[in-house]
Structures are given as C-alpha cells and as structure tokens.
Amino acid sequence: MKRITIFLLSLWLANVASAAASSQRILARYQSLRPAAKDLGMYRLDWADSLDVALKRAAKEKRPVCLIIIHAKYGDIASGHC
C-alpha cells in the first residue's frame, strides 16, 4: 500500500510540475505577443460615440475633430473592431 501511495504521489507531483512549466510557457508566449503600451495609443484616445458629441466637446475644448467613418456591419472603432 505504501508503494502505491508513493507512486500516486509521484505521479501527482509530476503532473503539478508539468502544469506549472506549461503555464509559465503560456505566460511567456503571451508577453512576447502582447502589444507594447506605445502600440496601444489609439485605445487611449478620448473617443466620442457620435459626431454631435465630438463637435460639442471640440468646441468646448478648442480642439479639432478627427472623423473616422466605419463602413462595416459590425464596426466599432472604440473596441478596435472595424
């Protein structure tokens, strides 16, 4: 019985060690593919949901408006899907 317990414990420990190494590989791959902060600047812009809102805000803040028109059924520039 003791041998079986040791065997099962060693299998479980090997599985845990493998899972930890696998998760570290996945996290390392994610970090290598993740865009840098400088590449995500577009998502930090102060987007407006409509031209009317943008024009009012631009007049109030004395800033220009950059109009982007998305011609797609499911386009949403705020979420990056266009």
Mean pLDDT by 10 residues, the chain (82 residues): 76 68 85 87 79 93 85 65 58
- The position carrying tokens 């400088």 is 38
**In 34-76, alpha helices (H):** 51-61
Q: What is the DSSP letter of 76?
A: B
pLDDT at 76: 64
Instruction: Indicate the domain borders of the chain.
Output: 2-61
Q: Torsion angle, CA of 23/29/30/31, rounded to 10 degrees?
A: 110
Tally of CB atoms within 10 A around 82:
13
